[in-house]
Amino acid sequence: MNAPPLAAAAEVDAVVVGSGPVGLFQVFQLGLLGIHSHVLECLPHPGGQCTELYPDKPIYDIPAVTVCTGHELTQRLLQQIAPFHASMHFGHEVRTLTRQADRRFLIETSQGLQLVTKTVFIAAGVGAFKPRTLPISGLESFTGSQVFYAGEPTSTFAGQQVVVVGGDDAALQQALQLCHGNDDNSSHKAASVTLLHRRDVLQATDERVQRMHALCASGTMRFMVGQITGLTESEGKLTHIEVLGVDGLSLNVPLNTLSVQLGLSPKLGPIADWGLAMERRQLQVDAEHFSTSEPGIFAVGDINTYPGKKKLILCGFHEATLAAYAAAEYVFPDKRLPVQYTTTSPSLQQLLGVASRMD
Amino acid sequence: MNAPPLAAAAEVDAVVVGSGPVGLFQVFQLGLLGIHSHVLECLPHPGGQCTELYPDKPIYDIPAVTVCTGHELTQRLLQQIAPFHASMHFGHEVRTLTRQADRRFLIETSQGLQLVTKTVFIAAGVGAFKPRTLPISGLESFTGSQVFYAGEPTSTFAGQQVVVVGGDDAALQQALQLCHGNDDNSSHKAASVTLLHRRDVLQATDERVQRMHALCASGTMRFMVGQITGLTESEGKLTHIEVLGVDGLSLNVPLNTLSVQLGLSPKLGPIADWGLAMERRQLQVDAEHFSTSEPGIFAVGDINTYPGKKKLILCGFHEATLAAYAAAEYVFPDKRLPVQYTTTSPSLQQLLGVASRMD
């Protein structure tokens, strides 16, 4: 990791790990207390499980919101926290978290960002969403040169012999794009496209499946049913993958680029190594401050556990609120912060950037 | 109290006391667990403090609702709980609550309604909103015959010598109406209208104040500044009130009807007499079940207290949720109710009356 030297670390008051609904609302409650947040999110966008697992599915139990999708909930919360101008760091996974001599925490991210913070809020849900990988020995060393995961631009595959692994909409969409080139740029066509899935039933829209079959019929795409069992390399290059078909026969498939489109799966990641008290992979907190076993580190939302815990978004909103008040004692040790109401407090309304409505 | 005999008491699973936002959301969470609620509300309408204290003022800290008024929040929650068809009992104040031999509770209301219930949820906020009264000895005995409070129909005052006490919009609106009769029925005009306020500054819209001054100028209305200090009765009838003016002089004002329009003030009322553990007029609960000291009676929202308690609506939503799960053990002692998600559970979606969206 080419992290900048420690002297370059930014000194901040609060770091929120995760940008799902509870992480976003944590920013809001901290903002109302006058605390600016830095948010670390391993994905390139906010929303957490709402965005990864059910962006288009309805949620009915957000209080006072009869129905909204995961995407809509995220958008509503982003709008609500906008007045607080949180520093959003997308594509950053927390790698290390270390208590300093001055009792603050040094956080280093996967992109080398260093933050020295008074408080940490772990709102990481079920963990960081990472692309599912293939358990093939030796494959990892080609990541970024010949093996790619979700989010890679089409241009990477231009002119290549590509094998796309997967059977859902994302996999089919990419395979179809590589046959045609990008909408804007047909030079992004791959030299050859093979779609490889472990069974012959695809979990994609009928329209995409039909287009795929048509391309296979015309010889533009190849569809294989089987599983990768090994690889061949030559002079430091990946040249073939070994595919075990449903007929029990193995084939060596030549390629120079492998696109793994097996979706995302959550991983607790380094959080499990920070020495915080845990119970069944949840962080233990108290129901008064939502503090972990490490003073200054709070845990809110699906990642925490306490007596009575229910993994519901609305409970996470409450947890983030009480955690914010508890954290204020670390950020402003000499100030007592009573509860104020957004309906009546001119200072909260100033923070929110809304004109005080006098009656 | 002319309550029906005990045999007529309806047997129910859950009684929610109060219909503020937290009481309404209590109905929602109970509904998701398959428990039907009876709601007792002392006012003629739902909303609690949201409706009484800030119907038109903006609230900014309901998660995922950037801004809404107290009235709008109430409407949103009423819409959200509509699928559960709660039995709403408006104008009912709980008078007595008694544990029966079978461990259920017998509740009797001010209107004589009797309910035998397995669980009780006290969501009474700062208490029941009651009209502010005048501390004048002997006045109470005329309540309902010659002394009236908020909500009385105009027809009550038709043809009467009326004194309206108060200086806000509600008081002015009534005084103006009594000068003109009802919009639909000019026979509802009073014989004479006196507006009495303790000072000469009125807290009402300019338009109403101007109309009042015009009516005073034309001799249709009389405006007095002063305070009621006593009354005169004759043959069991209230005939005069004694008004102490700002000049230090007392006047005897003849009347046959007194309309007290001094707004509402919350009173904890009989709840304080139920033997539940309290701390500074809040009901003590645990943060796991939000149970009071009496098993089966829960307290949620502003009326409860526990370590870390913040009097915020969003916290009440969480409390109502955990209380609902805890209460389910009383309603369904043999059933284990795991957390289900409205996004994915067909049985919850059936309860909500929404078609399951398949993907």
How confident is the model over B254-301, as pLDDT tens digits? 999 999 999 888 888 888 889 999 998 899 999 999 999 999 999 999
pLDDT in tens, B6-48: 456 899 999 999 999 999 999 999 999 999 999 999 999 999 9
Would you call B66 and A79 a contact, using CB atoms and an 8 Å cutoff?
yes
**Which helix (H) or strand (E) segment is A241 a member of?**
strand A237-245
pLDDT tens digits for chain A (359 residues)? 333 444 568 999 999 999 999 999 999 999 999 999 999 999 999 999 999 888 889 999 999 999 999 999 999 999 999 999 999 999 999 999 999 999 999 999 999 999 999 999 999 998 888 889 999 999 999 999 999 998 788 889 999 999 999 999 899 999 999 998 766 567 789 999 999 999 999 998 899 999 999 999 999 999 999 999 999 999 999 999 999 998 999 999 999 999 999 988 888 888 888 999 999 889 999 999 999 999 999 999 999 999 999 999 999 999 999 999 999 999 999 988 889 999 989 899 999 999 754 44
Residue B115 has pLDDT above 70, yes or no: yes
SS3 B141: helix
**A70 contact residues in B (CB cutoff 8 A):** 343
Burial class (CB in 10 A: 0-12, 13-18, 19+), B283: buried
In chain A, residues with a C-beta closer than 8 Å to the C-beta of B351 are: none
What integer pLDDT is reported at residue B6 of this predicted model? 43
Flag whether residue B289 sits within 8 Å of chain A, measured between CB atoms: yes
**DSSP, residue by residue, A60-119:** --BTTBS-EEHHHHHHHHHHHHGGG--EEEET--EEEEEE-TTS-EEEEETT--EEEEEE
Cβ contacts of residue B16 below 8 Å, gap of 6+?
B23, B26, B27, B30, B37, B38, B39, B40, B86, B121, B123
User: What's the pLDDT score for residue A183?
Assistant: 60
pTM above 0.90, yes or no: no
pLDDT at B279: 92
Among chain A residues, CA nearest to B79: A66
Residue with token string 């996004």: B343
Contacts of A326 in chain B (CB under 8 A): 308
Mean pLDDT of B240-253: 94
Q: How confident is the model at residue B183 (pLDDT cuts 50, 70, 90)?
A: low
Tell me the residue type at A358. Answer: M
B78 touches chain A (CB under 8 A): no
Tell me which of B84, B312, B358 to substitute to probe the interface with A (most A C-beta atoms closer than 10 Å).
B312
* Contact between A80 and B58 using a beta-carbon 8 Å cutoff: no
pLDDT for position B151:
73
User: In a mutagenesis test of the B interface, which of A25, A300, A319, A342 is the best target, namely the one with the most B β-carbons within 10 Å?
Assistant: A342
Residue A322 corresponds to which tokens in the numbers above? 């009480």
Task: Confirm or reject contact between A325 and chain B (CB < 8 A).
Answer: yes
Reported as a pLDDT band with limits 50, 70 and 90, residue B180 is: confident
